[in-house]
Structure 1
Amino acid sequence: MTYVVQDNCIACKYTDCVEVCPVDCFYEGENMLVIHPDECIDCGVCEPECPADAIRADTEPGTEKWVEFNRKYSELWPVIIERKDPLPEAEERDGEDGKLEKYFSEEPAEQ
């Protein structure tokens, strides 16, 4: 089992999860985070820390596509090891439907 970040993170990018991760397996895009599925140790401490409820175990229904999504972008984006402020529109976008199609950016976070 591994954990993955889903589209609820897009346009929010809360980083509370990064603070508790013992193996630094989070990677940062311009407007979301992903988890490298091969680096995640399945501890689950990140899941309850996510205010956007965007982190799920890969054993949950519908997560198959997110495992590959997380793998792809974790290999392109920089690792994030410290908590940062969420995006300015985080509260407004939290829980919004269709965020992958509306807002997702493939760009890595600025360093």
Structure 2
Amino acid sequence: MAFVILEACQTEKAAECVSVCPVDCIEEGPDQFYIDPDVCIDCAACKAVCPVDAIEEEYDLSPDQEVFLQRAEEFFANR
């Protein structure tokens, strides 16, 4: 399982998560930050420092939030 950055990041784009990630799996996209689901080690360091509470575990996503996991997968597939 991976962590996923949700909608709240689109308006704030706080970068605290990037500096604490031990595997450098968070990158800035054009509209928000994204977590690479294939690299994330599920350590929760990013969630703990997010000032806008925009990070959730993949298995905790509601059906309407699953689009953010899909967007992250697409973002990293095109790299």
Structure with higher strand content = 2
Aligned residues: 77
Q: Does 1:59 align with 2:56?
A: no
1:66 to partner: Cα distance: 2.2
Question: Does 2:41 align with 1:41?
Answer: yes
Structure 1 residue aligned with 2:72: 70
Find the structure with the greater CA-based Rg.
Answer: 1
**Preserved CA contact (<8 Å) 1:26 1:74:** no
Counterpart for residue 29 of structure 2:
29
Instruction: Name the structure with the higher helix share.
Output: 2
Separation in structure 2 between the aligned mates of residue 5 and residue 61 of structure 1, nearest angstrom: 10
Superposition TM-score, scaled by structure 2 size: 0.85
Moved over 6 A (4+): none
Larger CA deviation: 15-24 vs 67-76: 67-76
- Identity score, percent: 36
TM-score by length of 1: 0.63
